[in-house]
Structure 1
Amino acid sequence: MTDYQISPEELDRYLHQTSAVVGLPIAEEHAAGVKRYLQISLRMAAAMETMPLQMEDDFAPIFHA
């Protein structure tokens, strides 16, 4: 499993750099919540990587209107 642990400094740098690139400013009062969600996302990504998938696996249902 890939280690998705990053330091608080790296997370802070990532948040500020990516928000600048996409032009989405993050107010300081919201930064802690956004960082918390990023940490949750990293844990979800690590969990997803533990599930081996084959090309013939059905990844998701397809709905047609």
Structure 2
Amino acid sequence: MVGFNAVANGEMVFERAVEVLGTAERAAEWMGCKDSQLGVKPDDLVKTDDGTAQVLHCLRRLELGHPV
């Protein structure tokens, strides 16, 4: 069972991904694909607070144009 925090984290990260990636479609695709820096799907990581922090850091690097 996924806890409330995981659901809230997932929603917050998805909204941030839309801001960074430009559309909900691109954000959903990114969240569901294995990311090379993260090593897993962002969707899987947002189930924990540490994983959420990793995904947000990755999005920030993308936003700033840094290699990920």
TM-score, length of structure 2 as denominator length:
0.34
TM-score, length of structure 1 as denominator length:
0.35
Q: For CA contacts below 8 A with separation 6 or more, give which structure has more relative contact order.
A: 1
Q: Radius of gyration: which is bigger? A: 1
